[in-house]
A and B are shown apart, each in its own frame.
Chain A
Amino acid sequence: MAELSLKDHVEKKTSVINLRRKTRWGETIIQSLLFFSGFFSIFVTFGIVYELGKEALLFFQMPDVHILDLFTSTRWQPHTGAFGIWPLFTATMMTTIIAMLIAIPLGLGVAIYLSEYAKPRVRNILKPILEVLAGIPTIVYGFFALTFMTPLLRDIFGKDVVQIYNTASAGLVMGLLILPLISSMTEDALSAVPRSLREAAYGMGATKLEVATQVVVPAALSGIAAAVIVGISRAIGETMIVAVAAGSGPNFTFNPFQGAETITGHIVRISGGDLSYDSVDYNSIFVLGLLLFFITLTLNIISQQIVRRFREVYE
């Protein structure tokens, strides 16, 4: 290559000392390793979709499985050829709804209290306590549901009404598990609302409650909605509480005091025994897993979209 004059360099915006031409192999190797690490997570997602999809396809290719049964039958007993997903689905919905009935009002209450009312000193004590609640393993909550909440419910409503394993107890305790998640996400959203909005409302003579509920909460609504949706997604995927306390055996019921098995609880119970590969049971957990994956993924994406699209941005 012909030597370039200084003028050419200036015109072409290249460096006089051409650093670019020297390929640093070490740097390149390191950079590709780092890229591989970053790309690894894509493999994981593909792995989930591919493996779950593959086994789920095998399930639907089995001679006694009809895809229609999945949504029309109300019995789920893969080894006897009953493949109605409804009992698992309703149980999941029930524990989720009960959990959210606890977690949404309490979580919002805690968040509003911490962000709008609590003095900094109080907040500095309370926030770590709630973080502790969020860091406790879910199996411990399962133990709590079975040995505390269930006896409590049975004492209140009577032993004939409430079964030993029931979705109400699992749902209530799951609500406690999700409370800190919703409250911390909501509190972040509330704290992001600028002070000037509050001051303006106070200037108009609003009470503290009116500022909180009519100014701050509406301004942070997108963040709150995102928190609630993430909470729902977490409740649907929650496993150990329902595996311990909600009961074993799919049961098509809407009575929260009866035992019923959720999607996750079913997967745990089925795989707890020694599963033989390519059996109906083995393939069925992949179908359930795939369903679970898409439900939670959809919810998480919706939550991210809400934050992105509807967030109020303040200067």
Chain B
Amino acid sequence: MNAPDTDLRLNELLAAHLDTLIRGDRLAARPLAASAPAELRDLMNLAARLDETFAPVLPSAAFMTRLRAEFVQDQTSGAFMLRWRKLPPRYQAVAKFGGATLTVGLMLLAARRALGLASNTRARQQPVSDPVLSG
């Protein structure tokens, strides 16, 4: 067997050993390692150590529920958020600017109205001079 063939064979043996490990079948993986060519044995043992090292991790249930809710739970707001996220960034910026302008405009109108009411009230509270008496 020439070198590339040997490499291919070793690749296949290591891949088969790894598949056995990730299926969770450690008992079946051991004899594979024991009967493997010497140059592979320590690599297979290293693979077994890797399998033990990479312990399974899970996201927290709270995180998963919160994130899922952003996509599906509230269909109305979900649909709005979906449409919003699909808008190109330029459109989103314009929409934000428009929203901000409208808000400021409404606030100015409200302030002007409030100021107008206050000045009217003040004017009404001013003592009105009687032209007869003052004349």
A binds B: no
